[in-house]
Amino acid sequence: MEENDIPDDVLIIDLGNDFRIDNQEWVYGLPEINKSEISQSNRIANCGCFATAIQLALLPLADAQLLNEDIHISAITGSTGAGQSPSPTTHFSWRNNNISAYKVFNHQHEAEVYQSIHQLQETFEGKLRFIPYRGNFSRGILATVYTSINTDQKYVNELYKTFYDEHPFVSIQENGLTVKSVVNTNYCSLNVTVNDGHIIIQSVIDNLVKGASGQAVQNMNLALSLPETAGLDLKPIGY
């Protein structure tokens, strides 16, 4: 961006992490909270894949001012979430029949999650306790998020349903989730359970679609006043 003189009226959607945090010139490209801003911007910073799955699990709680304790997260991603630079841990022979944690409590996507929580709930003072895992599969993310909460299942069900009513790519599922139900689509599926004073949210996305290129197309559609779902009516690999 610094080396090229790009006119202001040219739409740019950046999939890197350079412009995601506290940037006044770029809109953070999470349509579920920034749809209006995205539709009026030519500079959009696409979200990280882990960040997308985790934020979609937490946004309704932040919007209702219900996040008052530390948030615990474990999430596993396929090998295509490892970026484009080869490393010993990206080789199939190392990934196959294997699983490992990495960047424990120190993943770069945590900053995006904090930023979006504070956008909706400025008073949040808790910590994110995030443990990411490398999976032995190629595509998809499954995140399990839990925190203490003082409410019941009926209220939470209505809260999530109402929050995502106007967002076509987030669905609330009553049954258990599988990665195959969303891989090859731009969907995020959530399962929300209240148990013994805690809320547990499972979130699944395709890290290459809703976690990357699909979300970029969704943002492009909004910025160009196209139907939000244009080009994204995709079928999952398992259903």
Q: Which sequence positions are flagged as catalytic?
A: 49
CA dihedral (236, 213, 21, 172) in degrees, to 10, reads -20
Q: Facing residues of 118 across strands?
A: none
Q: What is the DSSP letter of 80?
A: G
Q: Give CA separation, 182 vs 36, 76, 140, 178, 237, in Å.
A: 26, 15, 8, 8, 7
Pair 39, 222: CB distance under 8 Å: yes
* 216 SS3 class: helix
Long-range contacts of 12-15 (CB under 8 A, 24+ apart): 12/42, 12/43, 12/44, 13/44, 13/46, 13/216, 13/219, 13/220, 13/223, 14/43, 14/44, 14/45, 14/46, 15/46, 15/212, 15/213, 15/216
Amino acid code (one letter) for 134: R
Q: Identify the H or E element spanning 35.
A: helix 31-38
Q: How many Cα atoms within 13 Å fall on the side-chain side of residue 45?
A: 17
Relative to beta strand 43-46, strand 100-101 is unpaired
